[in-house]
Amino acid sequence: MVALPVASDPRDVLLPLNMPEDNLSLNSGILPAQWIRRLYERGQIVSRPLAPGQIQPASLDLRLGKIAYKIHASFLPGPNSSVQKRVSQLTSYELDLTKPQVLTRGSVYLIEIEEQLRLGGTISAIANPKSSTGRLDVFTRIISDRSDTFDVMPAGYSGKLWAEVSPRTFDVMVRQGTRLSQLRFRRRTSSQHVHANFRLNDTELEALHERSRLTDETPIIRQGLNLRVNLQREIGSNVIAYRAKRYTNFIDMDKVSSYKVGDYWDALEPNAEGNLLLNPGEFYILASKEKLHIPSDHAAEMVAIDPIMGEFRVHYAGFFDPGFGMTSHDGPGSKAVLEVRTYDIPFFLEDGQTIGRLEFERLAEKPNSEYGEGIASNYQGQRLKLSKHFTSQ
What are 207-260's pLDDT values in tens digits? 999 999 999 889 999 989 999 999 999 877 899 999 999 999 999 999 999 999
In this prediction, residue 325 carries a pLDDT of 82
Our CA angle for 143, 148, 153, nearest 5°, is 50
Distance (Å, rounded) from C-alpha 162 to C-alpha 140? 10
Among 68-72, 102-106, 233-237, the minimum mean pLDDT is found in 233-237
Residue 55: its pLDDT value, please? Answer: 95
In the three-class reduction of DSSP (H, G, I as helix; E, B as strand; rest coil), residue 84 is classed as helix
Beta strand residue intervals within 97-178, DSSP E: 101-103, 108-113, 116-118, 123-129, 138-144, 152-153, 158-159, 161-167, 172-174
Lowest mean pLDDT among 12-26, 48-62, 134-148, 352-366: 12-26
Q: How many CA atoms lie within 13 A of 76 on its CB side?
A: 12
**What is the band of 265 on the pLDDT scale with cuts at 50, 70, 90?**
very high
pLDDT of res. 342: 83
Q: Mean pLDDT across the chain, nearest whole number?
A: 85
- pLDDT at position 314 is 65
CA–CA gap between residue 171 and residue 103 (Å, rounded) = 6
Of 139, 180, 162, whose CA–CA distance to 84 is shortest? 162
Q: Which pLDDT score is estimated for 241?
A: 96
Output the CA torsion 287→292→297→298 (10° steps).
Answer: -50
213 neighbors 331 (Cβ within 8 angstroms): no
Strand, helix or coil for residue 209: helix
Instruction: Quickly state the pLDDT bin for 313 (edges 50, 70, 90).
Output: low
Q: Give the list of residues 6+ apart from residue 336 with CB closer than 8 angstroms, or none.
A: 227, 287, 288, 290, 292, 302, 315, 320, 356, 358
pLDDT of 303 reads 80
Among the residue ranges 273-287, 301-315, 335-349, the one predicted with the least confidence is 301-315
**Alpha-carbon gap, residue 304 to 309, rounded angstroms:** 10
Which of the pair, 373 or 82, is modelled with greater confidence? 82
Other beta carbons within 10 angstroms of residue 262's beta carbon come to 11
d(CA 296, CA 276): 35
Q: Is the pLDDT of residue 390 over 70?
A: yes
CA separation, residue 87 to residues 68, 83, 161, 173 (Å): 10, 7, 13, 22
pLDDT class of 311 with cuts at 50, 70, 90? low
- 310-326 average pLDDT score: 73
CA nearest to 285, candidates 305, 311, 265: 265
pLDDT digits (tens, 9 = 90+) for 354-383: 888 899 999 999 998 765 554 445 545 467
pLDDT-based confidence at residue 8 (cuts at 50, 70, 90):
very low
**Measured in whole angstroms, how far is the alpha carbon of residue 14 from the centre of its chain?**
24
Confidence of residue 17 (pLDDT cuts 50, 70, 90): very low
pLDDT at 15 over 90: no
State the DSSP H helix or E strand holding residue 210, giving kind and residue range, or none if neither: helix 202-211
Q: Can you tell me the distance from the alpha carbon of 13 to that of 127, in angstroms, rounded to the nearest whole number?
A: 23
H or E element in which residue 92 lies? strand 91-96
Three-state SS at 339: strand
